[in-house]
């Protein structure tokens, strides 16, 4: 492990490494909190937004005397909720993998900052998508999606760069 990573890890702990903390966790509080925030966001979208939309539509369709077809009905509100959840889940592996590799081999501090930016951008996605999927949705979500991809790239490229650096 590069010396600057070991030094930074020590400097973020609440005392020396032998003060009741595992040395490998020193400095990991930021990435841990970012990961927890991401999971909270994903579950809020999954259990709150997507599930809430589904049950609201079931009630609305029943009030009109129609059957709600969850998977083949193509209701634009359900499609928007599904898209918000699916997009967040699709990016979960690349985000968390690059976040933790960056924290371990480059800097827990910069991983925390970049990870926080990513979670905020991901939280904006359903807002920019809107309550229904429509023809203008692609341009609006680009304001969250493109910078979020940039964060994943920054985390990944800086990690590879650190690994390939002399003494890395």
| Residue 18 pLDDT | 47
What single DSSP character describes residue 22? -
Highest mean pLDDT among 6-10, 24-28, 148-152: 148-152
CB 106 within 8 A of CB 25: no
Where in the chain are the domains? 3-164
Q: How confident is the model at residue 131 (pLDDT cuts 50, 70, 90)?
A: confident
CB 62 within 8 A of CB 30: no
Entry pTM: 0.81
Question: For the residues 73-97, what does the mean pLDDT come to?
Answer: 94
CATH-assigned architecture of domain 3-164? Up-down Bundle (1.20)
């Amino acid at each position: 492990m590069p010396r600057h990573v070991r030094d930074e890890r020590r400097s973020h702990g609440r005392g020396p490494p032998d003060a009741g903390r595992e040395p490998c966790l020193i400095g990991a509080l930021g990435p841990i909190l970012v990961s927890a925030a991401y999971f909270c966001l994903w579950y809020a979208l999954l259990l709150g937004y997507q599930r809430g939309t589904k049950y609201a539509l079931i009630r609305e369709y029943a009030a009109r005397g129609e059957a709600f077809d969850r998977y083949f009905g193509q209701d634009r509100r359900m499609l928007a909720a599904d898209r918000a959840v699916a997009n967040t889940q699709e990016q979960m592996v690349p985000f968390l993998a690059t976040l933790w590799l960056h924290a371990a081999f480059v800097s827990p501090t910069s991983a925390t900052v970049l990870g926080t930016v990513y979670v905020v951008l991901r939280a904006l996605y359903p807002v920019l998508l809107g309550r229904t999927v429509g023809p203008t949705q692609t341009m609006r979500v680009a304001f969250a999606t493109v910078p979020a991809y940039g964060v994943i790239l920054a985390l990944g490229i800086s990690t590879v760069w650190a690994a390939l650096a002399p003494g890395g």
